Amino acid sequence: MRFPAAILLLALTAWPQVRILVKPDSSSGPGARYPTVTACNETPATLRMEGWKFRTRDSSAYTTWMPGLTRSGSGPVQYTQMVPVDQSTMPAGRCSAVQVDYSGTQAAGKDISLYEPQALIKVGSCNATPVYQDPPSLTCSDLITAGDYYGNKCVETGARENRYGGFIATFAGQTQIQAGLPTLPESVGGSVEMKWDPRSLGGPQYMMSLAMVQEFFQVDMRFLAAVAGVEVRFGYVQNGKEYSGSISEIGGFNTDQSGTFSPWELEVTSFDRVMSAYPKFFPGPGDCLNRFPDITSGASCLGKSGDTTAPFYMRTPGLTPTRTGINSPQLANGAVSAALTWYGLYDALVHSTDLYFTKLLAGGKDPRAALSAMTAGYMQGIYSGFADPLKDPNIVDNPSASNLFLTGSGNYRITLFKLLDGISNATAASTACGGAIPIYDASIAFSDVQRFFFGGSGAPGTPAAQGDGGLLLHFDLATEERENLLAALHCAFDRLKGRAPSTAGKDAVSYRYDWLAMLRVAKGMLPDRVRPFPVEHDYRYLMETYSKNPLMASGKPKDAAYPTLDILSPLQNQVMAPGYPKGFPVTVKGSDGSGDVKAEWTLDPQWETWSRADSSGGGQFSFSVPCGSKRYPKPGQKGALWIRVVDGCGNATVEELDFTAHAAALCQDPSGLRNAARGKRENNSRLAKGRASKSGLNSGRVWFETDSSSPGSILVDVRGQKAKQEKF
């Protein structure tokens, strides 16, 4: 069975079970009414469903045993039902443990039927997430292959590693990857002197993975390189023994036999938490985990102690001892998993409204204080109280704020920052920046590109069959989408090969000069990388622990009220002409007593990608639904559109609008040409085909189901730049 977007089930009495959206029945005659509401989540991800709304046309004075019910207006009457905090976490495919019974009396000539049910979903906090630049995707025809694209301009800013606390970085404004190779060793662990030199790994997959994480997820590749250096000395060579290879292999440190995986030494529990928190990046096991309230109760998704899922992503077959190979496609999986592990802490701290974490990111006197807090949480654990120093407003102006956090076992943070500074300083003193330090480069064959995306420790995987490992394990694409991606990569490779100074005349592209372009071509054909609001059990504990005060660290009051949403046009269940080329128009109104709201819409039944509606002023918003959108129904078939209004504190009111596509009007221009936009992704971005093929999940909805002592019931279904590449 496939499970849809968030659903509320609303059960009324005395009528046969039919699916009606706006007016489920037309009651007649006075008498008692006893509808029952049960909240269900049928998206592929855990939701924080804090309640629901519904309306009645006439006053009914409905009451219920559950606290949190409020009403406003007299005709229609708006009811808002909030649920207790301990019942708001809704695992995928699950309904609430309790049903909510309502009682009301319908007077003669009145109608107190429940209609227009809306779900109240928490999708953010009152803290604004720091904004960073995400470089635009490219197509093959956008690629620049001449002029100063292959120049030697310095791209090091000198402060990028400190931007947003030293964790997030971006390649915006760059077409090259300039990573300096330190010539001076770092003293780590007593007498051991080592230097970062990823050439010791015998191939480009590691550096391809680091660049991918910065381009796709905005995690500083130098930071992840330093973490791998602290953990297992991956990509580091011993001074004076440079040609012996990576210390991680010489010393036998790179192994998963102790239950930690990849060069980033990810513990099984941490990895499971990440899959649960970000299921869209782990199709299958992540979806399964999201059907449970926490990773402990979801152990059946993971095999024995989780020891089937972690190896699936991060263990290269055929190696003894078992580990991630030094030039394997599993490095991409380890890099994604490591980035998301750190993001879990980052996201939870950002959304903790009692903390001054976001102020540190914006301009703390100690540019590494925010990263120091994250490192303490990484080493000590979420339940350790590591974030307590962030409650003090004086931390923002403290130039030594990092010292307020424990350094971790073996001076973990001190070593991490030393290695991070070593890579950053080497890049700033590289040959491109007026120094003498060499810049890392490597030749990348197309087989390397194919293995990176499609996996395969031996022969590369294909669109029809993923090999072991590879980036596409994190994106559930249909076969046709995988074929299109491979063709685009081929096109880009053929356009770029042999043109860089380091690959002249070779059937290869350059890591330094060309790999970013290859990644940007792929980025436009992959699902978005937007991370959901943290609702995973442990991360939510962290947020709730540090979000208790009515006033936020910013000094502003928190807003717990959900905005109102009214769909002005069209009405429910109308037959809609395609309205080529813009689509049929929709107008909604949203309001919130404490500030501005935004309106968004989607045809995606899994609620993963939303498009922004245009503001018309006065709280009204408008948008058009193009008939060429993915998941637009075929002529004569029913379709579902979800609309939400979100306020500045991440309170989202969601309602479904059902419609039927016109049976005779095709999606085409006046000359009869089929709309070229058919199949393109909503909001000009690439969407993956739903995860249903692997996870068994369906399009999601929020529905209300009723139960009554009276015979019969009625079901109310609420189913729920592109820019030219910059030159040097």
User: How much is the pLDDT for 156?
Assistant: 61
| Cβ atoms of residues 256 and 323 within 8 Å | yes
Asked whether residue 598 carries a pLDDT value surpassing 60, the answer given is: yes
What is the share, in percent, of the chain residues with pLDDT greater than 90?
A: 52
User: Mean pLDDT throughout 431-439?
Assistant: 93
Structure tokens at 263: 């060069």
Which tokens go with 124? 């953010």
- In this structure, of 33-42, 324-333, 575-584, the range with the lowest mean pLDDT score is 33-42
**Residue 13 confidence (pLDDT):** 29
Q: Please state the rounded mean pLDDT for residues 84-109.
A: 81
pLDDT reported for residue 92: 78
- Please give the average per-residue pLDDT across 209-214, as a whole number: 97
The whole-number pLDDT of residue 554 equals 84
In a 3-state reduction of DSSP, which class is residue 280?
A: helix
> Residues 13, 713: contact at Cβ < 8 Å?
yes
What pLDDT is stored for residue 304 in this prediction?
Answer: 53
Cβ neighbours of 394 (radius 10 Å): 10
Top-ranked range on mean pLDDT: pick from 199-208, 263-272, 708-717: 199-208
What pLDDT is recorded for position 437? 95
Which pLDDT belongs to residue 332?
Answer: 98
What's the CA gap between 145 and 139, in Å, rounded?
13
Query: Which has the minimum average pLDDT: 87-96, 176-185, 224-233, 363-372?
Result: 87-96
Beta-bridge mates of residue 404: none
Would you say residue 155 has pLDDT above 50? yes
Which of 488-497, 621-630, 704-713 has the lowest average pLDDT? 704-713
The number of angstroms, rounded, from the C-alpha of 430 to the middle of its chain's C-alpha atoms is: 35
DSSP 3-state assignment of 486?
A: helix
pLDDT, tens digit, 9 for 90 and up, residues 438-464: 999 999 999 999 999 999 998 999 999
Under the banding of pLDDT at 50, 70 and 90, the label for residue 103 is confident
Residue 701: pLDDT band with limits 50, 70, 90? very low
Q: Is the pLDDT of residue 177 over 90?
A: yes
Q: Which of 265-279, 413-427, 678-692 has the lowest mean pLDDT?
A: 678-692
Confidence of residue 713 (pLDDT cuts 50, 70, 90): very low
Q: How far apart are CA 187 and CA 422, in angstroms?
A: 11
Q: What's the whole-number mean pLDDT along residues 244-263?
A: 94
Picking from 69-78, 413-422, 561-570, 665-674, which range would have the lowest pLDDT averaged per residue? 665-674
Q: Are 641 and 617 in contact (CB under 8 A)?
A: no
Lowest-pLDDT choice from 169-178, 183-192, 566-575, 673-682: 673-682
> From CA 254, how far away is CA 182, in angstroms rounded?
22
Across 21-35, 293-307, 512-526, 698-712, the highest mean pLDDT is recorded for 512-526
The residue among 229 and 116 whose pLDDT is bigger is: 229
Three-class DSSP category at 47: strand
Secondary structure (3-state) at 222: helix
> For the CA atoms of 261, 264, 270, 273, what is the dihedral angle to 10 degrees?
-100
Q: What is the pLDDT of residue 28?
A: 52
Residues 6+ apart with CB under 8 A from 606: 4, 5, 43, 44, 45, 690, 691, 697, 699, 700
Share the mean pLDDT of the chain.
82
Count of beta carbons in the 10 Å neighbourhood of residue 464: 9
Mean pLDDT value of segment 724-728: 29
* Spatial contact of 605 and 717, defined as CB atoms under 8 Å apart: no
**Which of 71-85, 244-258, 682-696 is modeled with the greatest confidence?**
244-258
302 with 239: CB under 8 angstroms? Answer: no
**Residue 674: pLDDT over 90:** no
Question: Could you tell me the pLDDT band of residue 128, with boundaries at 50, 70 and 90?
Answer: confident
Which residue matches tokens 């922004």?
612
Q: Encode pLDDT of 622-655 as tens digits.
A: 999 998 888 899 999 999 899 999 998 999 999 9
Cα 37 → chain centroid: 30
Most confident listed range (194-208, 401-415, 666-680):
194-208
pLDDT one-digit tens code per residue, 372-383:
999 999 999 999
Measure the CA–CA gap between 6 and 599, rounded to whole angstroms. 17
- The pLDDT score that the predictor gives to residue 684 is 32
